[in-house]
Amino acid sequence: MNFDFAAAMRRALQRTRARDVAGATRVIQTALSGRRTADAEQPRPAGFTVRQPSDRGVPPLIAPSVENVEERRSPLPRTDATEPHTETPDAGLPEARLRKPLGEVLERLREGKAKIGALDWSPALRTRRQPPPIPEGAHFLERSFACAAGARSYKLYIPASAPKKPRGLVVMLHGCNQHPDDFAAGTNMNALAEQYGVLIAYPGQARSANASCCWNWFRPTDQMRDAGEPSIIAGLTRELGSEFGLDRQQIFIAGLSAGGAMAAVMGETYPDLYAGVGIHSGLAYGSANDVLSAFAAMRGETGTARQTKPASKDTRLAVRTIVFQGSADATVHPSNAERIVAAVQASATPHHAWEESGASTGGRSYVRSVLTSPAGDAVLEYWRIADAGHAWSGGNPAGSYTDPSGPDASAEMMRFFFAPLPTQTQ
């Protein structure tokens, strides 16, 4: 965070405490747009530049964009840090990328509702993508799950290769402003489900729960076992496991952006349910406890959130983890991936570590780091992808937020989940 922004946050906090919500909103809006506020004291450091994403994929929002109820009488500009890439001359300017006041975010988070028209800011998002084609004998079903914590709809892919006795289950959590069909198309996971003979479940976040359909990874009540969204996702997972006769060693969860952060929450709060976690462009468990600390964590700052303690059993089970992170991610700072890796290392048993470098067929170079247990199975894989932004690596452009030029994150996650003995490349 630069000096101007830090000072602005302090001024906004002071005004919020003084119940001057409109004033705080103006301060934050000005800071996020990159302009100086009239009462700013600190000069911008020499040589300061705003880093722009280098990928052509549209970065999914990781925290919702919302409307301030105190300013509904007039339209407000957006300040999302995630506007789609366009060819307009000013597309790279901060003002073009940050267009919704954070005050709106705060108020909408409290209300949990929004005017849908204010959210449909991208033509690509206004057009609902069709479900990907499925082979004969396969099924892509619309289902729902409900429990005491709430209800969510989800899509379930049942492969033609194993319709009665699938080999396992992968739960896929989409990013903000995505939906199950879109995420299925972008990740190509249904095709891989046929190859591996596994079920793929795509829970959909409800707009009533989050204005931008983000999983609420940053709220304390949604970072606990047997409460909130983790309870819903876990209940859905258990129901499918029971229906198809699957045990923990056959069940995995993965996600992108806000979905990746929620996948980290699920691995921490339900280690007895999931044998592995895939986190793409996400954040470590306990990185935030409100929207302000969420934005701070996304920028790579530390010390802004209290560590939330999972209400889980004392018995800790090893949850194998695979992480993908682009070095040019302008939405989630790459240091967040390092924190995920550090947390896994801290809880891992003695291991052997090695790494290799390579390049994808699309030309993106990467470094793959692997930690193995004494038994030789992979405890952790960490893929650092050079020059990649905030998008699913190796994804299909038929879905949103994908980077087709990167290594295939979907294929590597499935290999990691279902073929846990990696071969070290010399």
Bridging pattern class, strands 392-393 and 402-403: parallel
How high is the pLDDT of residue 303? 57
Confidence of residue 100 (pLDDT cuts 50, 70, 90): very low
Rg (the chain; Cα; Å):
21
Residue with tokens 């919020």: 16
Q: Of 7-21, 194-208, 310-324, 411-425, which has the strongest mean pLDDT? A: 194-208
Alpha-carbon gap, residue 390 to 393, rounded angstroms: 9
Question: If you classify domain 139-418 with CATH, what class do you get?
Answer: alpha beta
How high is the pLDDT of residue 90? 33
Residues pairing with 403 in the sheet = 393
What would the two tokens of residue 424 be?
């070290």
Length of the chain: 426
CA 397 vs. chain centroid, Å, equals: 18
Least confident piece of the model among 48-57, 94-103, 381-390: 48-57
How high is the pLDDT of residue 302? 73
CB distance 44 to 4 below 8 Å: yes
Confidence of residue 225 (pLDDT cuts 50, 70, 90): very high
Q: Which residue has the higher pLDDT, 158 or 9?
A: 158
Least confident piece of the model among 39-43, 314-318, 346-350: 39-43
Q: Which residue has the higher pLDDT, 119 or 318?
A: 318
Q: What is the mean pLDDT of residues 167-184?
A: 97
How high is the pLDDT of residue 290? 93
Q: What is the percent of the chain with per-residue pLDDT over 70, rounded to a whole number?
A: 68
- The 10s digit of each residue's pLDDT in 232-275 is 999 999 999 999 999 999 999 999 999 999 999 999 999 999 99
Q: What is the mean pLDDT of residues 351-377?
A: 92
Taken in order 394, 396, 401, 403, is the CA torsion positive or negative? positive
Alpha-carbon gap, residue 169 to 244, rounded angstroms: 9
* pLDDT at 368 > cutoff 90: yes
Alpha-carbon gap, residue 16 to 212, rounded angstroms: 24
Taken in order 244, 249, 255, 259, is the CA torsion positive or negative? positive
Task: Quickly count: other Cβ atoms within 10 Å of residue 393's Cβ.
Answer: 30
Ranges of each domain in the chain: 1-49, 139-418
* pLDDT at 68 > cutoff 60: no
Task: Quickly count: other Cβ atoms within 10 Å of residue 122's Cβ.
Answer: 16
Write the burial class of residue 141 (CB in 10 Å: 0-12 exposed, 13-18 middle, 19+ buried). exposed
Exposure on the CB side of residue 281, measured as CA atoms within 13 A = 29
User: Which amino acid is located at 300 in the chain?
Assistant: G
One-character DSSP codes across 129-164 = PPPPP--TT-EEEEEEEEETTEEEEEEEEE-TTSSS
* pLDDT at 388 > cutoff 60: yes
* pLDDT at 111 > cutoff 60: no
Which residues, at least 6 apart from 226, have a Cβ–Cβ distance to it below 8 Å? Answer: 311
User: Which amino acid is located at 358 in the chain?
Assistant: G
How high is the pLDDT of residue 62? 63
How high is the pLDDT of residue 308? 53
* pLDDT at 42 > cutoff 60: no
Write the burial class of residue 316 (CB in 10 Å: 0-12 exposed, 13-18 middle, 19+ buried). exposed
How high is the pLDDT of residue 4? 60
Write the burial class of residue 71 (CB in 10 Å: 0-12 exposed, 13-18 middle, 19+ buried). middle
CB distance 96 to 121 below 8 Å: no
At residue 29, the 3 state secondary structure works out as helix
* pLDDT at 346 > cutoff 80: yes
CB distance 125 to 87 below 8 Å: no
- The 10s digit of each residue's pLDDT in 282-340 is 999 999 999 999 999 999 997 555 555 555 444 457 799 999 999 999 999 999 999 99
Confidence of residue 5 (pLDDT cuts 50, 70, 90): low
How high is the pLDDT of residue 422? 44
Confidence of residue 8 (pLDDT cuts 50, 70, 90): confident
Least confident piece of the model among 29-43, 78-92, 138-152, 218-232: 78-92
Write the burial class of residue 24 (CB in 10 Å: 0-12 exposed, 13-18 middle, 19+ buried). buried
pTM: 0.72
CA 7 vs. chain centroid, Å, equals: 28
Terminal Cα-to-Cα distance of the chain (whole angstroms):
40
Q: What's the angle, vertex CA 237, arms to CA 233 and CA 241, rounded to 5?
A: 170
